[in-house]
Amino acid sequence: MKIVDIHLHLGHCNVFDLDTPEEALMGTIEKNKIDAGFVQPYPGCPDVKKTHNDIAKLMKKYPKKIFGVVSLNPHQDEKEYNAEVDRLIKDEGFVGIKLHTIGHAINPLAADAKKVFEAAKRHKVPVLIHTGAGIPFALPSHVIPMAQAYSDLPIVIYHCGMGHVYSTEAYIAAKLCKNVYLEGSWISINEKIWLVGDLGSERMLLGTDLPENTGVEIFQYKSMNLSDKDLANVLGENAIKLFKLKI
């Protein structure tokens, strides 16, 4: 059974005072027997280009195990934003684009956010959106109009709103929009049971966010009494299909 973690970070973060060096990242991956991990810069990294390049080096060092996710502040010149996205996806093989609502102070409905969706549409890769901490921008309901406008574009809601009140919003977004998928880091096991049971295992993906949380998230899914098929879907198969991974 493949394990694919679609939410990992590398480097330092000035926004949340976090730091994940390569040793901690790879140690977590090996300890938890993760077959493939999606790695992105924290939103407050001091040098985002360097961190993206460090991730690209990791992809070469650990082929078919490390996959990069672009995470750029959309509040910049459109040509510069698109040029860096193009470089990372075309030249380095990154597999998705992050919209970090709180870290980059961006509402998914804002004009600058359209750069993210248009770039993802152009490259045919999913958009991954932070929800939860940072409301109102981080409300899962703000994803709905964009998911409807870009109905052919897969959109992953990170954290499912990060708590019981807002996990309901993430549920509604996924219920209304078939192109919306949910990553459940930081929500309770009861919420995970409810979401998998109602939406189906095909709509949930494993993401853990921080090294301290990786084992906990995997253990929760393994404790939910899911069928082998449903557990395989959530832990890895959905990500493999959605992101067209060859692992």
At 109, is the pLDDT very low, low, confident or very high (cuts 50, 70, 90)?
very high
Alpha carbon separation from 79 to 83, 84, 106, 117, 158 (Å, rounded):
6, 9, 18, 15, 27
Query: Can you give the pLDDT at residue 224?
Result: 98
Compute the CA torsion angle 63, 67, 72, 78 (nearest 10 deg).
Answer: 80
Per-residue pLDDT, averaged over 88-93, amounts to 98
Query: Can you give the pLDDT at residue 164?
Result: 85
Residue 247, domain member (yes or no): no
Percent of the chain topping pLDDT 90: 98
Q: How far apart are CA 41 and CA 203, in angstroms?
A: 25
3-state class (DSSP) for residue 159: helix
- Condensed to tens digits (0 to 9), the pLDDT of residues 226-246 reads 999 999 999 999 999 999 999
Residue 10, domain member (yes or no): yes
Query: Can you give the pLDDT at residue 113?
Result: 98
The answer on pLDDT for 165 being more than 90 is no
Lowest mean pLDDT segment, chosen from 161-165, 206-210, 242-246: 161-165
What CATH number does residue 151 fall under? 3.20.20.140
Number of domains in the chain: 1
Query: Can you give the pLDDT at residue 56?
Result: 98
The answer on pLDDT for 143 being more than 90 is yes
Contacts of 20 (CB under 8 A, 6+ apart): 8, 9, 10, 11, 42, 210, 211
Tell me which residue range forms the domain holding 46.
4-242
Average pLDDT over the chain, rounded to an integer: 97
Per-residue pLDDT, averaged over 124-136, amounts to 97
Q: How far apart are CA 70 and CA 230, in angstroms?
A: 29
